[in-house]
Amino acid sequence: MRATLLKDTIKSLFPIRRTVCIEGAPGGGKTTIVHEVAQELGVPYIERHMPTMLVEDFGVPDLTTSSDKFAYKLPEWFPVKGKAPDVGILCFDDRNQAGTDLQKVFANICQARTLHGHTLPDGWMVVSTGNRQADRAGANRVLSHLRNRETVLELETHLDDWTSWAIDHQVKPEVVSFIRFRPGLLHDFDPQRDQNATPRSWVEGVSDVLGTVSPEAEYECFKGAVGEGAAAEFVGFMRIFRKLPNPDAILLNPTTSDVPTDPATLYALSGAIAQRATEGNFERVCQYAERMPPEFSVLTISHAARRNPDLATTQAFTQWSIKHQSVLF
């Protein structure tokens, strides 16, 4: 299931509080999706990382009470009915890596919605995430009775969904342009390799590092995040990106500036121009984009409009879209 549909599905299931588990290859953004759903719904969000938890983290015997009844002290993170907000999302991350003892406790929270006799508020939804056993990334077999208490949704990495998310979250345009050029490297996971290219590693290990370390150190840093092959290709792409004609100079002369023919250069240039698009220069952006091959023209304008939605209301955008209806629709 694509990320956009997955988010909408979780939102649809929220009113009935159906327990959901999101599974997928490592680094695909499963937990981020759950967090963003909570933000978009405007509800509290609690996240616990199950592989680092002990059974005691779900509560320990209360030896301080004077009551003659056996009782438990609950962890402060668990939302208890009457003491916590009425609605929210409780997310258990990497639950496939948890042992059977933890899975049994979690299964009771999913079904009975209680923890040692204390009830979860009616408005809270329980969600978990996990890698698949087939990925050989440390996932254990999930107990059958736990599987039967949840709806498992599999996350599919999709280029367009990731591109939209990346633009909205200020991922470096160089990285976005490269992934559009080499989409197969967005999520190229192989458990036999020490390092893998994943949506997470491209953002945290490449985009966040780009411009922080010297160009001489980039390859080693990127190799340590996305693997040797992906790092080598990205460093080669960056050489092209850094030798591009000045995008500002192109926008000063959009009708006469040269239009490259090499696909890698066009991907790099489309991202650089889209990054500089404003309402003040958008007419010139469209003029240059009209001279690009149709697919790169659409790529440039769509990226620009995604970064700044106000551009889609300009006369220049309207005129450009009329000329490119055959590509857009």
Residues 6+ apart with CB under 8 A from 3: 29, 33, 155, 156, 157, 158, 161, 162, 165
Is 18 a residue whose pLDDT tops 60? yes
Domain check: are 242 and 123 in the same one?
A: no
Please check whether residue 227 is in contact with residue 193, taking contact to mean a CB–CB distance below 8 angstroms: yes
Say what the pLDDT of residue 191 is: 82
Domain check: are 139 and 168 in the same one?
A: no
- Residue 26, domain CATH: 3.40.50.300
Domain check: are 8 and 132 in the same one?
A: yes
Task: Give the residue carrying structure tokens 């009775």.
Answer: 145
Say what the pLDDT of residue 141 is: 82
Say what the pLDDT of residue 136 is: 65
Domain check: are 150 and 191 in the same one?
A: no
- The residue type found at 284 is R
Is 327 a residue whose pLDDT tops 60? no
Task: Go through 10-43 and write b for each residue having 16 or more CB atoms within 10 A of its CB, e for each that does not.
Answer: beebbeebbbbbbbbbbbbbbbbbbbbbbeebeb
Domain check: are 190 and 319 in the same one?
A: yes
Q: What is the DSSP letter of 70?
A: -
pTM: 0.82
Is 232 a residue whose pLDDT tops 90? yes
Domain boundary among 104, 128, 154: 154
Alpha helices (H) in 112-182, listed in sequence order: 144-147, 159-168, 173-181
Domain check: are 41 and 122 in the same one?
A: yes
Mean pLDDT, the chain, integer: 90
CA distance 298 to 307: 14
Task: Using alpha carbons, select from 11, 30, 253, 311 the residue that is nearest to residue 157.
Answer: 30
Domain check: are 322 and 187 in the same one?
A: yes
CA distance 232 to 244: 19
**Could you list the residue range(s) of the whole structural domain that residue 179 is in?**
159-328
Domain check: are 210 and 283 in the same one?
A: yes
Q: How many domains does the chain have?
A: 2
Please give the average per-residue pLDDT across 134-145, as a whole number: 74
Please give the average per-residue pLDDT across 290-316, as a whole number: 91
Domain check: are 183 and 215 in the same one?
A: yes
- Identify the burial level of 154 via C-beta atoms within 10 angstroms of its C-beta, where 0-12 means exposed, 13-18 middle and 19 or more buried: middle
Domain boundary among 139, 154, 169: 154
DSSP-based three-state secondary structure for 202 = helix
Please check whether residue 242 is in contact with residue 236, taking contact to mean a CB–CB distance below 8 angstroms: no
Say what the pLDDT of residue 137 is: 59
Higher pLDDT, 3 or 141: 3
Is 329 a residue whose pLDDT tops 50? no
Handedness of CA 56, 59, 65, 67 (dihedral sign): negative
Task: Using alpha carbons, select from 26, 2, 1, 21 the residue that is nearest to residue 135.
Answer: 26
CA distance 254 to 292: 11
Domain check: are 170 and 107 in the same one?
A: no
Say what the pLDDT of residue 325 is: 65
Domain check: are 106 and 225 in the same one?
A: no
- The 3-state DSSP composition of the chain as helix, strand, coil percent (nearest 5) reads 55, 10, 35
Say what the pLDDT of residue 71 is: 76
Say what the pLDDT of residue 131 is: 83
CA separation, residue 240 to residues 145, 152, 178, 234, 243 (Å): 54, 43, 11, 10, 5
Higher pLDDT, 233 or 61: 233
CB atoms within 10 A of CB 318: 11
Task: Using alpha carbons, select from 263, 317, 324 the residue that is nearest to residue 298.
Answer: 324
CA distance 262 to 182: 14
Domain check: are 164 and 123 in the same one?
A: no
Q: Give the pLDDT confidence of 165-207 residue by residue, as tens digits.
A: 999 999 999 999 999 999 999 999 888 888 999 999 999 999 9
Domain boundary among 101, 124, 154: 154
